[in-house]
Structure formats: structure tokens, C-alpha cells
């Protein structure tokens, strides 16, 4: 689905593809003297609110950074809590996604997750595969560097087998090997919680995306905050290296 970017911007422009680094659940809980899992639970509620708002606004694709390849470094108990919340989200929200004609996509190596979680994800993807509406992509055990490494390895293997001329490799070929090959070009990348880094998220895809860093902790990021982010995007002029 990915195509070359179209010059866009100015009042009224709507991003086709929005990605969000959902950061700040732990700090949200700490401010309220609650365990970290309470922040993650509140973060799931924010996922519901923002994904519904994105659909209502006409955003074609929403990608959410839910579990990075580095998140395995967190305490085992917290990783277990996150797996439990993922199970709960799929079981409780899948019917709505099917009803709302949403196509669920997962980017990243989610097959490292527990077998029952993998089965739930596979079932959710299969049950929404025939939908023709907006895309909801969830990044699970995802890392941008690993994604690029895997893409380069696959192209190198084809070249070594004589099926590909190395001189013919271009950006389009690399993009076709990425997890996001069937998503629209990334227009707007938002990070919550006041941090100003990409944290290994969509490194290739963010090359010409508009970046927005907000202080709001993820559980407090809702409809109004998404609308403000889209309004900010609409005021920007995107030149993609041109004038």
C-alpha cells in the first residue's frame, strides 16, 4: 500500500497514517501512588479512546507502539502484567474491531510471546483480515533496527542466490521488506510524556514524517489531545526536500 509521499500540508490537511509512542504509564501511576500496572491499565483505556477517535476523524491508519524489543528488560512481573493486559484487550475489543470494519495488523516479532497470546493475535488478525476500513497496527516486540537488519538480510540472501542484482537494490525494495510494507506512508509520529526520542520506532518510516512531542502522559492522552495533534499537523508545510 505504501506509495511515494505527496506534497501536503496547510490548513485542513489530514494525516493518512499516524503513529504514537505511548509513553508515561509508569509515571502516571507513580504520581498517583499506584502500582505500575495501574498505569498500564489506564493506558489501555487511552488506546480505546484514541483508536475510536482516529476512526471518527477519518485517519486511515493508526500504529501504536505497545511493546518494544527492549521491553523484555523490564521486571518479569511487569512483562507478565503487560501480557495479561494484551490478552484482555484482544478478548474484550475484538468484537468491536470486527463490527467497526477495522483491519488489525501487528508489526514486530510477536511470536516470541506466550503461545496463548500468539494464538489470540493470530485469531484477531484472521477475523479482521477481510475488513475494508481503517487499519489499526500494533507494534509488539518491535524494534526499528531489527526490522531494517532483517530486510537487509533477506535482500542479501536473494542477491547471494543470484535472484537479485545488488546494484538494483533501491529504497522501494527495502521498503517492500519492512513490516509496514502494506501500510500508508507515515505522516505524523507522536510521542507522549515529554521525552524527545524515537526509541527505535519506525526509523525508516519516520524519514519525512512530521514529529510531535507532547508532555501529556499517555493515560491522559485522549480525543482532545489527538485533535490538537492533527490540527498542528495541518498547520505544517511538508516539502520532502523541495521548496
Annotated binding site for substrate: 24-28, 36, 40, 68-70, 72, 74, 191, 197-199
Task: Give the C-alpha separation, 152 to 137, whole Å.
Answer: 23
Catalytic residue among 23, 81, 93, 187: 23
Q: Copy the grid coordinates of residue 122.
A: 493470530
Task: Give the C-alpha separation, 165 to 5, whole Å.
Answer: 26
Q: Where are the beta strands (DSSP E) in 130-226?
A: 135-142, 188-191, 210-213
DSSP H or E stretch at residue 124: helix 115-128
Binding-site residue ranges for Mg(2+): 23, 210
DSSP helix/strand/coil, 240: coil
Catalytic residue among 71, 131, 150, 200: 71
Closest CA to 64 of 134, 145, 114, 148: 134
Closest CA to 32 of 219, 214, 221: 219
Q: Copy the grid coordinates of residue 179.
A: 513490516
Cα-only R_g, the chain: 18
Q: Are 86 and 131 in contact (CB under 8 A)?
A: no
Binding-site residue ranges: 23-28, 36, 40, 68-70, 72, 74, 191, 197-199, 210
DSSP H or E stretch at residue 79: helix 76-99
71 is catalytic: yes
Closest CA to 201 of 18, 11, 16, 8: 18
Q: Where are the beta strands (DSSP E) in 55-126?
A: 61-68, 103-107
List residues with catalytic annotation. 23, 71
Amino acid at each position: 500500500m505504501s506509495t511515494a509521499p505527496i506534497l501536503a500540508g496547510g490548513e485542513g490537511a489530514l494525516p493518512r497514517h499516524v503513529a504514537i509512542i505511548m509513553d508515561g504509564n509508569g509515571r502516571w501511576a507513580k504520581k498517583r501512588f499506584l502500582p505500575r500496572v495501574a498505569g498500564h491499565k489506564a493506558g489501555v483505556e487511552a488506546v480505546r479512546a484514541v483508536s475510536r477517535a482516529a476512526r471518527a476523524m477519518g485517519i486511515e491508519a493508526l500504529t501504536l507502539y505497545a511493546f518494544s524489543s527492549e521491553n523484555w528488560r523490564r521486571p518479569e512481573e511487569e512483562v507478565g502484567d503487560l501480557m495479561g493486559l494484551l490478552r484482555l484487550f484482544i478478548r474484550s475489543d475484538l468484537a468491536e474491531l470486527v463490527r467497526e470494519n477495522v483491519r488489525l495488523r501487528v508489526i514486530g516479532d510477536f511470536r516470541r510471546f506466550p503461545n496463548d497470546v500468539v494464538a489470540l493475535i493470530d485469531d484477531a488478525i484472521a477475523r479482521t483480515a477481510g475488513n475494508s476500513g481503517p487499519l489499526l497496527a500494533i507494534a509488539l516486540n518491535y524494534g526499528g533496527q531489527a526490522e531494517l537488519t532483517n530486510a537487509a538480510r533477506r535482500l542479501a540472501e536473494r542477491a547471494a542466490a543470484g535472484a537479485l542484482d545488488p546494484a538494483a537494490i533501491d529504497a522501494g525494495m527495502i521498503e517492500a521488506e519492512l513490516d509496514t510494507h502494506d501500510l500508508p506512508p507515515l505522516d505524523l509520529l507522536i510521542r507522549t510524556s515529554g521525552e524527545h526520542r524515537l526509541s527505535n520506532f519506525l526509523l525508516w518510516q519516520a524519514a519525512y514524517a512530521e514529529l510531535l512531542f507532547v508532555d501529556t502522559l499517555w493515560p491522559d492522552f485522549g480525543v482532545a489531545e489527538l485533535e490538537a495533534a492533527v490540527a498542528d499537523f495541518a498547520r505544517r508545510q511538508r516539502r520532502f526536500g523541495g521548496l
